[in-house]
């Protein structure tokens, strides 16, 4: 999906406004800008960082809603419902940096050698459980292809080498990743 600079900035505003509204127990304000790209059905993740550390990350792999609605919903969930963290506070919101990953459709991986670390994100699907890691995670941790596959299996609650099993399906995707620091030149 081609997102303009204005689209990216609007999505970041939508995310921050949605989190702020949820923390104040108010409805999120409507988005003022319209764009065909923001109305397309698309999967997306919102990642929150506080002082450089992960503070929440939730998203939808497959398209469920328009991109604008997806970002609004998963931003609130990342702030309030990520089970790894307590709910975000208004005080923390002032210092949180928001990053958005807009996902391409999933592609079934026939050969793991097709996976380009740092370009592709992965989904490991064992039928009863799934795990996903965004493309930037492997790059941030300096993982090679096999370690990326193993860590995605662990995210799914599977053994690290489960990706080698025939009953496990591997999918890849790409994502457009952008953050407030990149788009607005400020870090919170």
Query: Which residues are registered as beta bridge partners of 103?
Result: 175
This prediction has a pTM of: 0.91
How far apart CA 151 and CA 145 sit, in angstroms, is 10
**What confidence score (pLDDT) does residue 188 get?**
57
**What confidence score (pLDDT) does residue 88 get?**
96
Which two structure tokens, joined as six digits, stand for 180? Answer: 């407030």
**What confidence score (pLDDT) does residue 83 get?**
94
SS in 3 state form for 106-141? CEECCCHHHCCECCEEEEEECCCCEEEECHHHHHHH
How far apart CA 94 and CA 99 sit, in angstroms, is 15
Walking along the chain (188 residues) 10 residues at a time, the average pLDDT comes out as 91 96 90 84 96 94 93 97 95 95 95 96 95 93 96 95 96 95 78
Which CATH code for domain 107-173?
Answer: 3.30.1490.150
In CATH terms, the fold of domain 5-103 is Glycoprotein, Type 4 Pilin (3.30.700)
CA-nearest of 152, 158, 159, 147 to 121 is 152
**What confidence score (pLDDT) does residue 184 get?**
87
**What confidence score (pLDDT) does residue 148 get?**
97
Domain boundaries, the chain: 5-103, 107-173
SS in 3 state form for 4-67? CHHHHHHHHHHHHHHHHHHHCCCCCCCCCCCCHHHHCECCEEEEEEECCEEEEEEEECCCCCEH
């Amino acid at each position: 999906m081609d997102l303009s600079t204005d689209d990216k900035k609007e999505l970041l505003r939508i995310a921050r406004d949605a989190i702020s509204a949820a923390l104040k127990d108010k409805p999120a304000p409507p988005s003022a800008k319209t764009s065909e790209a923001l109305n397309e059905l698309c999967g997306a993740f919102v990642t929150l960082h506080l002082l450089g550390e992960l503070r929440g990350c939730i998203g939808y792999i497959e398209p469920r809603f328009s991109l604008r609605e997806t970002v609004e919903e998963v931003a609130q969930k990342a702030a309030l419902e990520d089970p790894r963290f307590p709910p975000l506070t208004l005080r923390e919101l002032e210092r949180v940096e928001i990053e958005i990953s807009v996902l391409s459709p999933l592609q079934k991986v026939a050969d793991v050698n097709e996976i380009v670390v740092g370009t592709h994100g992965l989904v490991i699907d064992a039928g009863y459980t799934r795990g996903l890691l965004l493309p930037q995670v492997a790059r941030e941790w300096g993982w090679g292809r096999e370690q990326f596959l193993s860590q995605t299996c662990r995210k799914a609650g599977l053994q690290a080498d489960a990706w080698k099993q025939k009953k496990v399906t591997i999918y890849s995707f790409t994502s457009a990743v952008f953050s407030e620091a990149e788009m607005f030149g400020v870090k919170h």
